[in-house]
Amino acid sequence: MSVTPNTPETRPVSELVGTSTGAAWLARYSNSLMGVFGTPQRVLVRGQGCYVWDADGKQYLDLLGGIAVNALGHAHPFVTSVISSQLATLGHVSNFFTSPTQVALAEKLLEIAHAPSGSKVFFANSGTEANEAAFKLARRNNDGGRRTKIVALEGAFHGRTMGALALTAKKAYREPFAPLPEGVVHIPFGDLDALKAEIDETTQALFLEPIQGEAGVIPLPAGYLAEARRLTHEAGALLIMDEVQTGVGRTGSWFAIEGSGVVPDAMSLAKGLGGGFPIGALITFGAENSALLTAGQHGTTFGGNPVATAAALATLHTIETQGVLANVRAVGEHLRAGLSALPEVVAVRGSGLLIGFDLALPAGVPEGANFAAAVVDAGLSAGFIVNAPGPRTLRLAPPLILTAEQADTFLAALPQLIAAAAAAITDKLEKEGA
């Protein structure tokens, strides 16, 4: 193999890494990668539209989309061509400079967010970084030191860096890393009395996800968001919406809060924004909020780089011009109706193509079993990628271009996947008992 710098011809990446079986890659993975993700389910080598292929040539319908990231599926031709041409023109500049794609993307985000004049954008590389910026923004709303408290909800997931982790509720994620940044209070999900009790003149900000994705696709109760806006406004606290998972068309509108009448003080984005390319963003609404972080108070080397912002511009352009939001609404509705009609499914939640559903426990499967994880395994064997955020909950966050026909193949297969998962668990129990 020889890789000559600046050779004009394109070369497949397999020339750099070679080809191998899934099992061989996984053995090398466990020898070389940190164990934070456990063992990967498969080794994926290629994607096209809503499908991916593993190292052994097996095809999967991707109903998870890289966890709500691959908004336009895999290898989207327009996104790919824009990324390639930007990279071939100007791949990176430091933030001592700007670039046309960075400016154009900021303007586009302010337009689709209906942000009032004086609103601004900060670019990062991920959801946790967008929330880290939001955390620092909140800290600047300090009223000469009188405000020190930040409020978040039980069940919340805002990321894994130390500030975002302080906002994240799950003990298993937090406790190994104590002490976390102080001052964050978690209140019971959807409880307006608890909200009223905590939002006061010492509160810097309230962080909310419109739909808690990692908790199992749990939407805020009706009326909660409007009341949260009223209370934060009255108390002088910021309302910061985390739309990292729900934003950029995922729920069938540009943002999940669209149409609610609520204008937040800030909103974080990532996941689908780059159509698979890493990028995060924090939008600050209005001049006052946008002035909270001043020159030198925050920064990043890669954030807002020309390629990431070009990828996001191509993604937003495609969503806007190709009827993608209408597709999300129609196929999402179709999937939810199909799931609700199955006797094996006891609850269906979510909006657009962010869907969570709970499974009935089949006879013979014990209460404590991670039944949903067994359905994920059965799905992989049958060529479907889905995710289990809870022991009886499955989540779908497919590419926004999923067709009704593709959705139907999953709906038709699901009863068999559930039966196969139940059989796998009961067989295992029998063997262990034997």
Position 127 contacts ligand PLP (CB under 6 A)? yes
Angle at which helices 306-321 and 77-89 cross, to 10°: 150
Spell out the residues 6+ positions from residue 379 whose beta carbon is closer than 8 angstroms to its own: 385, 386, 413, 417
Long-range contacts of 408-414 (CB under 8 A, 24+ apart): 408/338, 409/61, 410/61, 410/63, 410/335, 410/384, 410/386, 411/335, 411/338, 411/339, 411/342, 413/379, 413/382, 413/384, 414/339, 414/342, 414/344, 414/345
At closest approach, how far in Å is the CB of 118 from ligand PLP?
A: 25
Comparing CB distances to ligand PLP, the nearer of 33 and 341 is 33
Count of residues making up the chain: 434
Position 50 contacts ligand PLP (CB under 6 A)? no
Position 264 contacts ligand PLP (CB under 6 A)? no
At closest approach, how far in Å is the CB of 209 from ligand PLP?
A: 5
Position 245 contacts ligand PLP (CB under 6 A)? yes
Comparing CB distances to ligand PLP, the nearer of 79 and 133 is 133
Binding string, residues 131-160; x marks residues near ligand PLP by CB under 6 A: x-------------------------xxx-
At closest approach, how far in Å is the CB of 37 from ligand PLP?
A: 12
Identify the residue among 126, 203, 305, 406 touching ligand PLP (CB under 6 A): 126
At closest approach, how far in Å is the CB of 288 from ligand PLP?
A: 25
Comparing CB distances to ligand PLP, the nearer of 159 and 306 is 159
Comparing CB distances to ligand PLP, the nearer of 99 and 245 is 245
Region 154-193 residues binding ligand PLP, contact defined as CB under 6 A: 157-159
Spell out the residues 6+ positions from residue 241 whose beta carbon is closer than 8 angstroms to its own: 208, 209, 210, 255, 257, 264, 266, 267, 268
DSSP E strands in 90-134: the ranges are 120-124
Q: Find the DSSP H helices in 262-383.
A: 286-290, 306-321, 324-340, 371-382
Cβ atoms of 270 and 67 within 8 Å: the answer is no
Comparing CB distances to ligand PLP, the nearer of 54 and 209 is 209
Q: Using CB atoms, what's the residue nearest to ligand PLP?
A: 127
What is the 8-class DSSP label of residue 246? T
Position 209 contacts ligand PLP (CB under 6 A)? yes
Position 213 contacts ligand PLP (CB under 6 A)? yes
User: Which position has the token pair 């006061």?
Assistant: 200
What phi, psi does 53 have (nearest 5°)?
Answer: -125, 140
Position 66 contacts ligand PLP (CB under 6 A)? no
Region 305-364 residues binding ligand PLP, contact defined as CB under 6 A: none
Give the interface with ligand PLP as residue ranges (CB under 6 A): 126-128, 131, 157-159, 209, 213-214, 242, 244-245, 270
